[in-house]
């Protein structure tokens, strides 16, 4: 049976404040709550979340964002704070059925952070009629009933978190976006095909077209079992009309560039503001994702009338910036000298076997001449530019 999320789009979940778990110290003001989520065999589940607001604003109704963590992650307080400081209401939920067992449990990303969380209902969070939401099963449970699969619950929790924000009197419902990292990027890519109300979306690392990824987990899991019938985001990506920023690392250990390229090329015709940002040496982690400010600037462009991230346009023998007023720092061509492939290293991590060849192009009149030969593979072009005091990157794949 195909997943269906229509009912969640119409559901305003019961929200229960958890003041005993409110953040303290540097995260003072970020509140804790649970909200009802999907059911399993007729019994309810609940999700834990942190919700934060900007400290000072002149706006009566504020833009907002749903923050979707990745594997090994939790509801991260620094992520909520980052968006609050940018002027957004932000909600970050645990999408793996985890609940805090220590103050400020979502304070950072580290190898030990899960020690501050408990999977499943515990302590104050126990309640009659509720059962545990599934943990991240890496979509390896695709033969099970839909309501027992983790991805179903993760997408449902994301849609319901959106509903929590939409019901908040401080939030402008027309200016709510979504950002997800790694597995959260996958969840985001899926959720926007079902929940088309988002004003913008930023999947980071994880994307659509994962069944075409080049030998890296978790992407390869989407080729297995019933997953091609259930959880390929490209099957519903045409529904997503909002501007999307696809961000990734060009040699990522978990997701390959071609999947993000395909996701960008699929969604670009649906909205001219859709962008891609493949970052060299970005590396893979929540902290690395937060350190890049493209998502923040992209959100500002959609929700605050800030300058839109410029992009490149490919012509016959020139690559042109689409914004004549852009503050261009550089235009570079990236390519490989053989087809991209991955193999395990000594730590059994799947790593790219090629080295990116980088060429700085001479920028004249907002563009640059380029050449692509038959000996070049996986060619793409990078635009580095400045908005305010932030140096940002967008990219486009070469289209022969």
The structural domains of the chain, with segments of one domain joined by +, span: 6-309, 311-400
| Separation between Cα atoms, residue 186 and residue 345, nearest integer Å | 25
Confidence of residue 114 (pLDDT cuts 50, 70, 90): confident
Mean pLDDT for the stretch of residues 103-125: 91
Mean pLDDT for the stretch of residues 64-89: 97
Mean pLDDT of the chain: 96
**SS3 label, residue 340:** coil
pLDDT of 397 = 97
Token pair of 206, please? 């994880």
Q: Whole-structure pTM over 0.95, yes or no?
A: yes
Mean pLDDT for the stretch of residues 340-363: 94
pLDDT digits (tens, 9 = 90+) for 219-274: 999 999 999 999 999 999 999 999 999 999 999 999 999 999 999 999 999 999 99
pLDDT of 307 = 97
Closest CA to 60 of 197, 169, 173, 174: 169
pLDDT of 56 = 82
Mean pLDDT for the stretch of residues 210-218: 92
Which sign, positive or negative, has the C-alpha torsion 291, 188, 235, 228? positive
Q: Where are the alpha helices (DSSP H) in 167-279?
A: 183-194, 227-230, 257-267
For 6-309, CATH gives 3.40.50.1820
Cβ-based neighbours of 21, under 8 Å, separated by 6 or more: 32, 48, 100, 103, 124
**SS3 label, residue 295:** helix
Cβ-based neighbours of 23, under 8 Å, separated by 6 or more: 29, 30, 31, 32, 50, 52, 77, 104
pLDDT of 316 = 85
Q: Is residue 400 predicted with pLDDT exceeding 80?
A: no
């Amino acid at each position: 049976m195909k997943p269906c999320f229509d009912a969640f789009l119409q559901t305003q979940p019961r929200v229960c404040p958890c003041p005993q778990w409110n953040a303290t110290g540097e995260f003072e003001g970020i509140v804790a709550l649970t909200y009802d989520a999907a059911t399993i065999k007729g019994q309810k589940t609940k999700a834990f979340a942190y919700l934060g607001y900007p400290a000072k604003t002149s706006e009566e109704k504020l833009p907002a964002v749903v923050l979707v963590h990745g594997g090994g992650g939790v509801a991260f307080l620094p992520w909520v704070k980052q968006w609050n400081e940018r002027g957004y209401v932000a909600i970050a939920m645990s999408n793996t059925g985890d609940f805090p067992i220590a103050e400020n449990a979502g304070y950072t990303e580290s190898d030990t952070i899960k020690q501050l969380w408990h999977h499943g209902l515990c302590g104050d969070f126990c309640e009659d009629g509720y059962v545990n939401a599934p943990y991240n099963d890496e979509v390896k449970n695709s033969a099970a009933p839909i309501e027992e699969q983790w991805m179903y619950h993760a997408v449902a929790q994301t849609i319901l978190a959106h509903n929590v924000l939409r019901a908040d009197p401080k939030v402008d419902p027309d200016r709510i976006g979504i950002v997800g990292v790694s597995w959260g990027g996958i969840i985001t890519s899926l959720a926007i095909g079902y929940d088309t109300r988002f004003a913008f979306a930023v999947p980071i690392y994880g994307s659509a077209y994962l069944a075409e990824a080049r030998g890296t987990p978790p992407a390869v899991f989407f080729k297995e079992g019933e997953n091609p019938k259930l959880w390929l985001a490209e099957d519903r990506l045409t529904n997503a009309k909002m501007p999307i920023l696809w961000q990734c690392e060009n040699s990522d250990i978990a997701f390959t560039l071609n999947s993000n390229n395909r996701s960008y090329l699929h969604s670009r015709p649906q909205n001219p503001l859709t962008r891609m940002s493949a970052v060299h040496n970005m590396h893979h982690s929540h902290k690395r994702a937060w350190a890049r400010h493209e998502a923040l600037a992209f959100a500002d462009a959609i929700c605050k009338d800030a300058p839109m991230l410029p992009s490149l346009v490919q012509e016959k023998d020139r690559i042109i910036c689409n914004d004549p007023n852009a503050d261009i720092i550089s235009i570079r061509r990236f390519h490989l000298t053989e087809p991209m492939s991955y193999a395990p290293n000594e730590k059994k991590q799947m790593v790219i076997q090629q080295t990116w060849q980088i060429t700085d192009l001479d920028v004249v009149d907002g563009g640059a001449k380029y050449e692509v030969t038959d000996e070049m593979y996986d060619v793409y072009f990078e635009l580095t530019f400045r908005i305010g005091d932030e140096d940002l990157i967008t990219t486009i794949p070469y289209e022969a």
